[in-house]
Structure 1
Amino acid sequence: MYGAYSAVRDGTEEWQGAAGVADVGTGRPTTPQMRHRIGSITKSFTAVAVLQEVAKGRIALDAPIGRYLPDLVPGQRGRAVTVRMLLNHTSGIGEYAPAIFPTLESIEGNRFHQFDPRELARLGLAAKPTGEPGQAHHYANTNYVLAGLLLRKVTGRSPEAYITDHVIRKAGLRHTYFPRSPQLTGPHAMMYEAAYGLFQPPRDFAVYNMSWAGTAGSLVSTMADLNRFYRALLGGELLPAAQLRQMKTTVPIEGSKVRYGLGLFEMPLPCGTVWGHNGLVPGAMTWSLSTADGRRQMSLGFNLTRYQKLDAHDKPQYGPIDAAMDTHLVQAMCGTGGHLRPGAFGDHRR
């Protein structure tokens, strides 16, 4: 692992730490306050924004998405898929990523490409469905691109602007933002993608146009800001109690002990259940967890991704880096020296 940074908070007590290098070429060290692409943790922010509109009566959680986006999701699918199904990934809508990243080199080829969210949504809707609407959890970024387009429709504003004003600023976050260019602003690490050994050496993707992820995964934040966000969310500062209960209503994820709510997952640890999300984009992985009462949080980012070796079935092998990460998560959240059995988090490492 090249570099990592983490922040842990328990009530009024806080710890921040960093290890390793932010740039393998210069040896520049990491710092705890580094800006970091948080990937799918963006989904928690987007879900909060949608639920705020639910609280205002402008969106009905169990209404069909075709009521709001009839031109984009028409016909039977538009009538069957609800807003709730988008937010908990039970819509059965497919993933658009294989269409825009068909080869390994297309990751490099799309570095500066500007994607329109409606284009991404159409690609996902054209992909093979993952199941019948409401049947089971199947994770797909398309769901949250559609959630962003829903926000645009009902608010008349770009979803990024709405989320910035009503979620990021409301939570008091000072270093969290949607990037306006491929470049990150503020102190940050280089972000290295190993592609399970296919990029030799790992390539830096710190400069990247994140329009391909949009409201599903393009936010930049710091570990301390993420702790502050989940503290505000679970403490009832961002949503009324009724909508927070809906957000914490979960469905099972096949092959995992983790359960998924509305942009928020529920994970069992040795000391009890925690809530949060994780995120993965080329070169940047993030975990952010919180106790249910919002008292204790842990956020962890690192700047080398898909570092694992693959087994004979092309599945990533659990190794020392994963073991160290899991140990940190447990110690940070439980305050103990406990360890998890290998692979205890299942396959929930997206």
Structure 2
Amino acid sequence: MYGAYASVRDGDAVWNGATGVADLATGRPTRADMEHRVGSVTKSFTAVAVLQQSAAGRIRLDAPIGDYLPALVPGERGRAVTVRMLMNHTSGIADYTARAFPSLAQGSTASLDEFRHRTVSPARLISWGLDAPQLFPPGTDWSYSNTNYILLGELLRAVTGQDPEEVITRDVIRRAGLRHTHFPGTDPRIEGPHSKLYESFHGLIDPPRDYSEYDMTMAGTAGALISTPQDLDTFYRTLLRGGLLPGAQLREMRTTTLVKDESGRVIAGYGLGIYTIDTPCGPVWGHDGSVWGAGTTALSSADGTRQFALGFNLAKYQRTDADGRPVPHPVDAALDRLQTAALCGTGAPASTDPFPLPQTRPPEGPLAPPYLSSATGQGLR
């Protein structure tokens, strides 16, 4: 691992730490407060904005999405898929990333570079997801799909008449008092102090290539946000202590659907833009994310007392076995020990099975389902 940066809070106590380098060419060291592409952690922010509009009476969680977006989700699917199904990934709508990066299916990373400076509209992303076959009848199963959260962004646009990123900035980011969190829009750069973000793609890119400059319209309200570990700690603490949502909406957010692996074992509960996993000291809540070159984990105790947020700058560092599954790496175990110590204290026992491997090849998109993410070795487990 080239570099990592993290922040831990326990009540009023704060620990910030960084290790390694932010730039291989110059040897520039990492900083604990570096700005970072946080990928699917964005979904928690988008979900909060949707739930705020629900509290205001503008969105009904169990209403068909076709009531709000008839042109984007027409016909029977628009009547069958509800807002809640988009938020908890039970819609059955396919993820658009496979079609956005078609070379990955042929074992090539050429699509990564073709998309680097390409601006793409939410409608285009949604069409890629909707044009793929429906995965299952809406509401009958669970499958992580970034298309869901692009649709939720367009839902915010429909009910507010404003750009969804502006709504999230005003009602979530500023309300939480975050000073270093923003959507980059079409700007491919990270403006604040940041690390380069190196993508290995399981050895296909050798040496790993810097993808810190990237047009993140391909992720939008599903995964484009830039933040810092400190801001993520503040966000989840504020959220879980009731500072962003009324009690009824926070309870809805924390009402989960069970997530199972291929063997049927429950590995997490996914709520509305937030998930829960078990630790040696009890359940924690949050989200993780991956983009080309970076991984992020942000978790909090259920009562909002203790938070842990981490970013690191080398993605898909693991190699894969003959079946295409990532082989556990020493960095995986180190990240697990850090997470356990951060959330439970240094005397907590490490989990005995920290990274159970999925039984199928993990998706290889930049916003891959966290619980199968080969980019981090972290996430739902």
- Residue in structure 1 matched with residue 121 of structure 2 by the alignment: 116
Q: Give the AA of the match of 1:140.
A: S
- Residue in structure 2 matched with residue 257 of structure 1 by the alignment: 267
User: What SS class does the counterpart of residue 45 from structure 1 fall into?
Assistant: helix
Q: Number of paired residues?
A: 350
Tell me how far 1:253 sits from its aligned partner. Answer: 1.0
Whether the aligned pair in 2 keeps the contact of 1:266 and 1:273 (CA below 8 Å) is yes
User: What SS class does the counterpart of residue 195 from structure 1 fall into?
Assistant: coil
Q: What CA deviation, in whole Å up to 9, does each residue of 1:80-130 have, x standing for no partner?
A: 100000000000000111111011101011100000001100110111222
Whether the aligned pair in 2 keeps the contact of 1:39 and 1:279 (CA below 8 Å) is yes
Task: Confirm or deny that 1:340 pairs with 2:346.
Answer: no
Equivalence map 1:268-279=2 (5 Å): 268-279=278-289
User: What SS class does the counterpart of residue 196 from structure 1 fall into?
Assistant: coil
- Residue in structure 2 matched with residue 300 of structure 1 by the alignment: 310
Q: Give the AA of the match of 1:35.
A: E
* CA separation of 1:10 and 1:149: change in aligned 2, threshold 3 A: same
Paired with 1:257 and 1:140, the residues of 2 have a C-alpha distance of 18
Whether the aligned pair in 2 keeps the contact of 1:259 and 1:265 (CA below 8 Å) is yes
* CA separation of 1:292 and 1:345: change in aligned 2, threshold 3 A: farther
2:219 pairs with one of 179, 200, 213: 213
Whether the aligned pair in 2 keeps the contact of 1:179 and 1:220 (CA below 8 Å) is yes
Q: What CA deviation, in whole Å up to 9, does each residue of 1:165-219 have, x standing for no partner?
A: 0000000000000013001111000000000000000010000000000000000
Q: Give the AA of the match of 1:50.
A: V
Paired with 2:297 and 2:43, the residues of 1 have a C-alpha distance of 13
* CA separation of 1:308 and 1:95: change in aligned 2, threshold 3 A: same
Paired with 1:349 and 1:13, the residues of 2 have a C-alpha distance of 33
Tell me how far 1:259 sits from its aligned partner. Answer: 1.0
- Residue in structure 2 matched with residue 246 of structure 1 by the alignment: 252
Whether the aligned pair in 2 keeps the contact of 1:323 and 1:342 (CA below 8 Å) is no
Name stretches of at least 5 consecutive residues in structure 2 with no aligned partner.
104-108, 359-370, 374-381
* CA separation of 1:162 and 1:211: change in aligned 2, threshold 3 A: same
Paired with 1:54 and 1:326, the residues of 2 have a C-alpha distance of 36
Paired with 2:355 and 2:219, the residues of 1 have a C-alpha distance of 28
- Residue in structure 1 matched with residue 73 of structure 2 by the alignment: 73
- If the length of structure 2 is used for normalisation, what is the TM-score? 0.91
Whether the aligned pair in 1 keeps the contact of 2:326 and 2:357 (CA below 8 Å) is no
RMSD of the TM alignment (CA)? 1.0
Q: What CA deviation, in whole Å up to 9, does each residue of 1:302-339 have, x standing for no partner?
A: 00000001011100111100000011111100003421
Paired with 1:111 and 1:214, the residues of 2 have a C-alpha distance of 14
Paired with 1:127 and 1:284, the residues of 2 have a C-alpha distance of 27
Paired with 1:344 and 1:322, the residues of 2 have a C-alpha distance of 8
Whether the aligned pair in 2 keeps the contact of 1:257 and 1:346 (CA below 8 Å) is no
User: What SS class does the counterpart of residue 187 from structure 1 fall into?
Assistant: coil
Q: What CA deviation, in whole Å up to 9, does each residue of 1:14-65 have, x standing for no partner?
A: 0000000000111000000000000000000000000000000000000000
- Residue in structure 1 matched with residue 236 of structure 2 by the alignment: 230
User: What SS class does the counterpart of residue 216 from structure 1 fall into?
Assistant: helix
Tell me how far 1:342 sits from its aligned partner. Answer: 3.6
Equivalence map 1:196-211=2 (5 Å): 196-211=202-217
Tell me how far 1:345 sits from its aligned partner. Answer: 6.0
- Residue in structure 2 matched with residue 158 of structure 1 by the alignment: 163
- If the length of structure 1 is used for normalisation, what is the TM-score? 0.98
Identity %: 55
Equivalence map 1:1-350=2 (5 Å): 1-103=1-103, 104-180=109-185, 181-255=187-261, 256-337=266-347, 338-344=349-355, 347=358, 348-350=371-373
Whether the aligned pair in 2 keeps the contact of 1:41 and 1:277 (CA below 8 Å) is yes
Name stretches of at least 5 consecutive residues in structure 1 with no aligned partner.
none
* CA separation of 1:41 and 1:345: change in aligned 2, threshold 3 A: farther
User: What SS class does the counterpart of residue 54 from structure 1 fall into?
Assistant: helix
User: What SS class does the counterpart of residue 301 from structure 1 fall into?
Assistant: strand
Paired with 2:162 and 2:209, the residues of 1 have a C-alpha distance of 36
User: What SS class does the counterpart of residue 253 from structure 1 fall into?
Assistant: strand
User: What SS class does the counterpart of residue 160 from structure 1 fall into?
Assistant: helix
